[in-house]
């Protein structure tokens, strides 16, 4: 079978995970005008919590639900006690406070689980491969594509079809206007921050059986999430999807052409997009 086709499908799988990773960052930025440098750390927490839950004998499916909620709860608390106090300051302090938070979380993970990585078992039901004629593909990766697609739809519905979603979208246009209309903006800030962290953690849980866990996966993920948001356009849901898929496919196809340079090509792709469209593919400029 065509090896490039396989790599494109692989790329879609990776790309959907990248989308999950980036969409939270993008939504948080869109509403809060806040670059969350701790975003990768929430992904890291998701992966490690999943690892720990499985160690304790918890079912993977339960972990898939519980872990993102738990991380979202942590993020909600962090927003309340920490971030709320720096909103009024210059953006370098937004960045600094989240960089500090990321360091604390990463070092905390090393403190609890040690500096070395670990493997996470694929759930029993999804072991092995699927075969359609000459097309062979791991079941788990197929599940990841399907699951993230459903989740993306649900998230899109939340943002486009619910009252919370309209408040979030209106808030990204003008926070002041929304609060004048009698909506408690700070409550929405907390919710959106928790939602963003929760999606990052979900990406972490889903990625753990594929790539294992190690304490520095958070920083790597942060870099990739930034690239996707830059490529797709800040604050854009569709941009995160397009950017995630594009970057996933580029990385996957390049890994057969030039394995050492596969991750380098992600950033080259970013530079190319920026040359053509400085505000990203779907950015509003």
Partner 1 sequence: MTRLTTHFQLLLVIAVALILPLVMRSGSLATEVLIYAIAVAGCNLLLGFTGLLSFGQGIFFGLGSYTAGILLTRLGLPLPLALLAAVVVGALAATLVGWFAIRQRGTYFVMLTLAFAQMFYFLAYSLPNLTGGDNGLLDVPRPPISVGGLELMALKTPWQFYTLVAVCFVIVFWLLLRVTRSVFGRTLLAIRDNEERAAAVGYNVRLFKLAAFAISGAVTGLAGAFLAIMTGIAPLSSIEYHTSEMILVMTVIGGTGNLFASVLGAAFYVLFSDWLSTLWPRWLLLLGMLLIAVSLFMQRGLWGLGERIWLAVRRKPPAGDIDAPSATEPRP
Q: Give yes or no for residue 102 binding partner 1 (CB under 8 A).
A: yes
212 Rama class: left (phi>0) / alpha (psi -120 to 50) / beta: left
| Other residues' Cβ atoms within 10 Å of the Cβ of residue 253 | 19
Piece of 42-50, 83-91, 120-128, 152-160 that binds partner 1 (CB under 8 A): 83-91
Task: By CB under 8 A, name the one of 170, 267, 277, 281 that touches partner 1.
Answer: 267
> What is the chain's length?
285
In whole angstroms, what is the distance from residue 125 CA to residue 131 CA?
16
- Least distance to partner 1, CB of residue 260, Å: 4
Burial 64-98 (b: 16+ CB within 10 A, else e): bebbbebbbebbbebbeeebeebeeeeeeebeebb
In whole angstroms, what is the distance from residue 157 CA to residue 145 CA?
18
At residue 169's C-alpha, the angle toward residues 166 and 174, to 5°, is: 115
Q: Give yes or no for residue 100 binding partner 1 (CB under 8 A).
A: yes
Q: Which of 154, 177, 181, 149 is nearest to 245 (CA)?
A: 149
**Binding flags for partner 1, 196-235, as an x/- string (CB under 8 A):** -----------------------x--xx--xx-xx---x-
Task: By CB under 8 A, name the one of 64, 66, 96, 210 that touches partner 1.
Answer: 96
Piece of 68-76, 81-89, 161-169, 238-246 that binds partner 1 (CB under 8 A): 81-89
**Binding flags for partner 1, 28-67, as an x/- string (CB under 8 A):** -x---xxx--------------------------------
User: How many residues line the site for partner 1 (CB under 8 A)?
Assistant: 48
**Residue reference for tokens 């960045």:** 95
Phi, psi of 118 (to 5 degrees): -150, 160
Q: Please, which residue, 183 or 225, has the CB nearer to partner 1? A: 225
Q: Please, which residue, 10 or 106, has the CB nearer to partner 1? A: 106
Residue 109 has which token pair? 């993970």
Task: By CB under 8 A, name the one of 77, 104, 125, 177 that touches partner 1.
Answer: 104
- Least distance to partner 1, CB of residue 64, Å: 29
Query: Under a CB-based contact definition with an 8 Å cutoff, are residues 16 and 145 in contact?
Result: yes
**Binding flags for partner 1, 111-150, as an x/- string (CB under 8 A):** x---------------------------------------
Burial 27-47 (b: 16+ CB within 10 A, else e): bbbbbbebbbbbbbbbbbbbb
Contacting positions for partner 1 (CB under 8 A)? 29, 33-35, 82, 85-86, 89-93, 95-97, 99-104, 106-108, 110-111, 219, 222-223, 226-227, 229-230, 234, 258, 260-261, 263-264, 266-268, 270-271, 274-275, 278-279
């Amino acid at each position: 079978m065509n090896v490039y086709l396989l790599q494109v499908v692989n790329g879609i799988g990776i790309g959907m995970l990248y989308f999950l990773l980036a969409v939270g960052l993008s939504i948080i930025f869109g509403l809060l005008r806040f670059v969350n440098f701790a975003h990768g750390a929430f992904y890291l927490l998701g992966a490690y919590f999943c690892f720990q839950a499985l160690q304790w004998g918890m079912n993977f499916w339960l972990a898939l639900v519980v872990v993102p909620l738990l991380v979202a709860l942590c993020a909600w608390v962090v927003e309340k006690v920490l971030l709320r106090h720096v909103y009024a300051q210059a953006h370098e302090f937004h960045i600094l406070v989240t960089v500090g938070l990321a360091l604390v979380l990463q070092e905390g993970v090393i403190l609890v689980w040690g500096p070395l990585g670990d493997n996470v078992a694929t759930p029993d039901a999804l072991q092995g491969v699927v075969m359609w004629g000459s097309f062979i593909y791991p079941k788990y990766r197929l599940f990841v594509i399907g699951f993230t697609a459903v989740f993306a739809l649900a998230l899109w519905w939340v943002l486009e079809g619910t009252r919370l979603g309209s408040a979030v979208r209106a808030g990204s246009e003008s926070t002041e206007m929304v609060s004048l209309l009698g909506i408690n903006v700070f409550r929405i800030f907390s919710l959106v921050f928790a939602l963003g962290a929760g999606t990052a953690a979900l990406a972490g849980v889903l990625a753990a059986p594929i790539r294992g866990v190690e304490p520095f996966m958070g920083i790597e993920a942060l870099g990739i999430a930034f690239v996707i948001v830059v490529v797709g356009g800040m604050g854009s849901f569709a941009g995160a999807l397009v950017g995630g898929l594009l970057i996933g496919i580029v990385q996957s196809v390049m890994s057969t052409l030039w394995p050492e340079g596969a991750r380098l090509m992600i950033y080259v792709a970013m530079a190319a997009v920026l040359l053509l469209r400085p505000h990203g593919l779907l950015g509003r400029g």
